[in-house]
Amino acid sequence: MEEKKNWKKFLILELSITALLMIAVAAVVAFVDPFFHYHAPLRDFSYIMDNERYQNDGITRNFEYDALITGTSVSENFRTTLADELFNVTSVKATYAGGYYKEIGDGERRALEYNDNIRLVIRSMDMYFAMTETDYRNPQAADPEYLYDNNFLNDEAYLYNADVLFEYVNSGIGRTVNGVPADTFDSYMRFAEDRPLGAAYVLPYVRDNEVTGAEIHMTDEEREMLTANVRANLTANIAAYPDVEFYYFFPPYCIADWYTNHYVKGDIPALIEQMELVTEEVLKYDNAHVFCFYDDTDIITDLNNYSDLQHYSGEISDLLLRYMANGEHELTLDNYKEYFDNVENYYTNYDYSWITGP
């Protein structure tokens, strides 16, 4: 009988300790909330911000801001402090490296739904991520649905997660104690300082293929697919939020990219037609702006601005923000045809021989 009593006491103790620890872990994670899933950041906590797919939704939902910088990795080097200064806004960055139009469009829509104060969106439009079905997502990218689905019943994956507890909460506490400031949006996902620039790093990405001499144009099926994708994932948000200014831009890939991914294949005409189509669709709306920098050939042809075929330096990222703030390189319904004709002409007739070398 005595033994039974002991076991009863032990059982209560065992379950109580377990329950308390379970509650404590969830409470600590929810209180610190390193992915900003429940609330805005604590004022004095040193947050580690380095995981966009996990932190973006919380950022767009719980931060105070009126401008959103989004897009793929080509937007990651933008400094929000510069954007704030140039556009007179308070901006946050929520980018999706390798993100297709659907992923970025969804993130942008959710931000607009959460935050009525948004008045400016800056977003990249990568053509490499454009030609897909409307609901295509990057299959290799992390997809923490539990952070995006507004269903608290599956939040266990966040609340009871060793990575979150040890790498974000615990390390964050350590940084806070040591007086390390929280990461900022200038540094959030920025890689400009980590990657060396120049021909030595860009040219290895150039494939040694022979120029086909072909002249490939966009097919009717591609036109249909791209139109549907742009309407579903780009212009739907523009149409739904007429009071918000949308600054969309074609990221300036380098001359080596033009060569190896387009000139060699002969699909420069198709690429130009795609960019024209996107421009036409976006410019149907008065609150939308489209920027394209391929006419700034000083940038494009200087490989010292690039760490690979597509990614440009921090300085160029700053310059693009300045261009957009000043309205430079902006396409309008009046000038875009001529603009793309010139771009096509330039990159079709460019002397690429130095890229492949003797």
Partner 1 sequence: MGFLSLQFIFFVPVVLVLYYAARKSGKNELAKCVLTAASMLFFALYGWDSFLILVLSCAFNYLYSSFLSKNKKPAYLAAGIVINVLPLLVFKYLNFFGENIAKITGTEYTGVSLILPVAISYYTFQMITWCVDSYRGETKGIPVLDYLAYIWFFPRMVMGPITRHDEFIPQINDPAKFKPDPENIATGFLWFTVGMSKKLLLATRFSGASLYGLGMGSELGMAEAWLCSIAYTFQIYLDFSGYCDMAAGVSKMLNLDIPKNFNSPYKAESIGDFWKRWHISLTSFLRKYIYFPLGGNRKGRARTYINMMIIFLVSGFWHGANWTFIIWGALHGILMIIERLTWDYLKKIPKFIRVAFTFVLVNIGWVFFAAPNLSMAVDVIKEMFRFDNIMPAVQFYDTFDMGTIPFIRYHLNIAIPLFYVITFVCLQCTKNIYDKKYKPNFLTALAAGILFVWSFLYANGVSSFIYFQF
Summarize as ranges the residues that interact with partner 1 (CB under 8 A). Answer: 3-4, 6-11, 13-15, 17-18, 20-22, 25, 156-157, 160-162, 165-167
Smallest gap from residue 49 Cβ to partner 1 (A)? 17
Smallest gap from residue 8 Cβ to partner 1 (A)? 4
For partner 1, the closer of residues 9 and 322 by Cβ is: 9
Smallest gap from residue 193 Cβ to partner 1 (A)? 22
For partner 1, the closer of residues 160 and 354 by Cβ is: 160
For partner 1, the closer of residues 25 and 277 by Cβ is: 25
Smallest gap from residue 191 Cβ to partner 1 (A)? 20
Q: 232 vs 90, 180, 235, CA distance in Å?
A: 27, 42, 7
For partner 1, the closer of residues 169 and 309 by Cβ is: 169
Listed residue (325, 340, 334, 238) closest to 295, CA to CA: 340
> Buried b / exposed e across 11-45, counting CB within 10 Å, b at 16+?
eeeeeeeeeeeeeebeeebeebbbbbbbeebeeeb
d(Cα 354, Cα 350) in Å, to the nearest integer?
11
Listed residue (72, 121, 126) closest to 97, CA to CA: 72
Smallest gap from residue 315 Cβ to partner 1 (A)? 33
Q: 124 vs 29, 292, 297, CA distance in Å?
A: 33, 10, 19
For partner 1, the closer of residues 156 and 224 by Cβ is: 156
97 alpha carbon, distance to own chain's centre: 5
> Which tokens is 287 given?
């609150």
